Amino acid sequence: MSTIVRPYGDMTGDGMVQTSFTLPIPHDKKAEGAALQLAAKMGLDPAMLVHAKQMGEGFTFFVVYGRVNHLVELDKVQVVERDFPLLTAKEVNTLVKKKLRRKLSVVGACIGTDAHTVGIDAILNVKGIAGEKGLEYYRELKVVNLGAQVTVPDLVEAARKEKADAVLVSQVVTQRDAHLHNTREMTAAFREALPAHKRPLLIVGGPRFDELMADELGVDRIFGRGTTPREVASFLVHKIIEKGSEKK
């Protein structure tokens, strides 16, 4: 397989892409010209305007379609691949029971002002997502879901009280990098409150995290868009039981 690819629109390798954006101007002929100017500056040549719609007072949403000349170099792509086996719920329960010989304690929350609980609920609640049951369904996991807008001190306190093996934090809002600031505040608070051997695994998730930033943010793992509960349960077993990062 070639390691160099180009976008595909009408014909293989024609370089055609579609993109959308909003400009803070009312919709008129000049606005459409402005959208095409931006598209040209973004490297779309030729660029076609395929949709323009005024969104409230003084804002217009655009969709443009055009050719880019850039090549994608697949051998330079960096991603976080899953580096642990994907287990079934039964396998997770068996490993926890045999090797940990107690329930594995998980505390989850949305921190800061973030009220988007659908993602963390999908991972934790029995209902789950994508046909998989959430972590509450796993007999050998004890899950406490603190819900939305939890403060960092309350999270640390709950983790201490529950003797959490893992703390799962969701951050969906990324305006002004809130997800990064909140994550850094959280990891700093855990570092301050607990010595390394008593610290739970710190895991964050949300659709707009860069999974490569785990070290920089001081967390053990970042889970992005489309994560399923089974992946998280398998990671917990891998890290806490198989890698032996159990708290003493």
Site for ligand B12 in 207-226 (CB under 6 A): 207, 223-226
Strands 47-54, 72-73: pairing kind? unpaired
Element (H, E) at 93: helix 89-95
H or E stretch covering 23: strand 16-23
Q: Does 190 bind ligand B12 (CB under 6 A)?
A: no
For residues 239 and 217, what is the distance between their CA atoms, to the nearest angstrom? 18
The yes or no reply on residue 126 touching ligand B12 (CB under 6 A) is no
Sequence-ordered list of residues with C-beta below 8 angstroms from that of 98, at least 6 positions apart, any chain:
none
Q: Is the dihedral of CA 17, 130, 137, 154 positive or negative?
A: positive
- Choice between 66 and 206, CB closer to ligand B12: 206
Residue 205 binds to ligand B12 (criterion: CB under 6 A) = yes
* Cα–Cα distances in angstroms (integers) from residue 109 to residues 18, 55, 121, 194, in the given order: 36, 34, 9, 19
Q: Could you tell me the two tokens for 113?
A: 């002002």
| Burial bucket for residue 55 (CB in 10 Å: 0-12, 13-18, 19+) | exposed
Residue 114 binds to ligand B12 (criterion: CB under 6 A): yes
CB of 157 to ligand B12, least distance (A): 19
Kindly state the smallest distance separating residue 172's Cβ from ligand B12, in Å: 5
In the annotation, is 76 catalytic? no
Give min distance, CB of 15 to ligand B12, in A. Answer: 27
Query: Judged by CB, which is closer to ligand B12: 16, or 19?
Result: 19
- From the list 30, 90, 127, 198, the catalytic residue is 127
Q: Does residue 105 interact with ligand B12 by CB under 6 A?
A: no
Q: Does 117 bind ligand B12 (CB under 6 A)?
A: yes
> Interface with ligand B12 includes 174 (CB under 6 A)?
yes
Options 137, 206, 230, 236; binder of ligand B12; rule CB under 6 A: 206
Catalytic residues: 127
Per CB under 6 A, residues contacting ligand B12 are 113-120, 122-123, 129, 168-170, 172-175, 203-207, 223-227, 232
